[in-house]
Structure 1
């Protein structure tokens, strides 16, 4: 919900959020009954969890009305309290929304729709808005960091792992990381084995500390880094390590992360556009020439009028997909797992200036590559022929 509102008010430019409750709300009535019944047993279903969560609103309504309030009166007042509670949640936990409201670019208002008349009672802003804007923003409990992962933890579903990356990056962006402290007990636990939820292929750039970017604890990420976040040799450490991570370690998400202003991509762009095609005498030259196909694709998509800077920026994104495609094309174990739905490969681009990761999703070529027959990587052909 909050993420969707941040998209609407940020990317789409909407300048009003209206939180609308309604009379005779079933959820509020149920929460009121739960509150009056008392008890704090663990919820047995998602519905029970929802009602227990809303019972806080019923409690506040009860305190405002005082003892002796009838259940119907309590539920009616709780409806209004819940509208303000939702508004306050946005102001307390969303830094982008807080900033827009603070600057006057966004307004948050509330109202109650009356089922009997069809009229909306407009409540205005939250009485606590000024106080919440003046206070330091925090992150919601749902974004709190858990304990370290070990072999006692089962494999995590790809989408669950992806969500951890997203909320971890959000903590990093708003300056509220949770993974700073590692205690001796955590290290002792980790010594028993590893069960990373994500295999992360990133650039070696010192400005992109991968665990920090995703506010991850030791044991969360299986990290592989090199200049340009590439995967150019089938027998090399990157692809072989990924097959180990997604095989014996049972990790179900591979995430490839590029970043803005990537030096390797800039170098490859400069070499390609200048027409440099000399034989590579050094490993660095070989790396840059290996990225030439990505730069070529970027130039074709943008057109010949694109500047070198524009080509390099677009090549960063294409290079993420190129690395993902390499895995799908040349690793049979990885391709099989993706085909069966056991594994997902996703990509993203880290913005050096904002700290935010743009999540790109799966490669546009994934379906085609998964359906095709696997190929032998060029780096392996010569070895096979010479054997």
Structure 2
């Protein structure tokens, strides 16, 4: 049983609070001890780094429950080494929660990636989108061969997720975990808003052997 879904046009401040009450009732009807177990602690095996887009909720699209996935989200699922928020989440996930998988998940139709492909000034977010333009620059030979705008758009979404996964792998946090023998894998995925399906980009790293020498730390 699931709480009644509210149409977007009908969402109000009060309806959100009522929706919470309905959800709690439904969960307790299914499992009276659900919140006792949930409040006892968390032990998620996965860290999800995704886009802030409201259409890409990690739990729903993977058919998991609260407590199953630790989540960090930002505009266009960007991963950069100067983002202390992301690094703090990663450090806690790896060293305290001992997650076994870190997944960087982009999504086709991402507004941030689309904005990065254009030349129109958006605002302060332009500084953030510069990271995606750097991904384009790193793969400019491949990108410039694509004449279809949609194909180019989709490919940059994929490359942004792949480079994000590589940046996770190159952190001292992940490398230290691997050096200590901790079980940990890093993956790159892309979600399709049109089909609801996740595409595994077949980019998985599980050991120090996958780290480029220039980024290895000791």
* TM-score with structure 2 setting the length: 0.76
Alignment coverage as a number of residue pairs = 186
- Higher RCO (Cα < 8 Å, 6 or more apart): 2
Match of 1:202 in 2: 50
Q: d(CA) in 2 for partners of 1:188 and 1:254? A: 27
1:312 pairs, out of 145, 148, 153, with 153
- Counterpart of 1:80? none
Match of 1:288 among 94, 115, 129: 129
| 1:337 and 2:174 aligned | no
Q: Within 2, Cα distance between the matches of 1:213 and 1:325?
A: 23
Of the three residues 8, 12, 27, the one matched with 1:182 is: 27
Once the two structures are superposed, the pairs formed by residues 178-327 of structure 1 within 5 Å of their partners are: 182-183=27-28, 184-271=32-119, 282-327=123-168
Are the structure 2 counterparts of residues 283 and 369 from structure 1 closer, same or farther at C-alpha, using a change threshold of 3 Å?
Answer: farther
Q: What is the CA distance between 1:244 and its match in structure 2? A: 0.4
Q: Is the 8 A contact 1:347 1:362 kept in 2?
A: yes
**SS at 2:165 equivalent:** helix
Query: What does the per-residue CA deviation read over 1:277-314, in whole Å, with 9 as the maximum and x for residues that have no partner?
Result: x8xx9430101222101223444214345233322210
Identify if the C-alpha distance between structure 1 residues 318 and 338 changes in structure 2 by more than 3 Å, giving closer, same or farther. farther
Superposition pairs of residues 1-387 of structure 1, within 5 angstroms:
182-183=27-28, 184-271=32-119, 282-329=123-170, 331-338=171-178, 340=181, 342-363=183-204, 367-369=209-211, 371-374=213-216
Contact 2:81 2:167 in 1 (8 A): no
- Which entry has the higher C-alpha Rg, 1 or 2? 1
Would you say the 8 A contact 1:198–1:251 is kept in 2? yes
Whether contact under 8 Å (2:185, 2:204) holds in the other structure is no
Counterparts in 2 of 1:226 and 1:290: CA distance versus 1, 3 Å? same
Q: TM-score, normalised by structure 1?
A: 0.44
Q: What CA distance in whole angstroms lies between the structure 1 residues aligned with 2:66 and 2:125?
A: 31
Preserved contact between residue 90 and residue 173 of structure 2 (Cα < 8 Å): no
> What residue is the counterpart of 1:92 in the other structure?
none
- Kindly state the Cα deviation for residue 196 of structure 1 after the two structures are TM-superposed: 0.4
> What is the CA distance between 1:372 and its match in structure 2?
4.4
The 2-side partners of 1:233 and 1:373 are apart by 12
Q: Secondary structure at the match of 1:248?
A: helix
Unaligned runs of 5+ in 2: 1-25
For the 8 Å contact 2:146–2:152, the answer to whether it is kept is: no
Cα distance in 2, alignment partners of residues 316 and 194 from structure 1:
31
Please give the root-mean-square deviation of Cα atoms over the aligned residues, in Å.
2.4
- Separation (CA, whole Å) in 2 of partners of 1:315 and 1:338: 29
- Structure 1 distance, partners of 2:83, 2:137, is 25
Contact 1:348 1:359 in 2 (8 A): yes
Structure 1: state its 5+ residue gaps. 1-180, 376-387
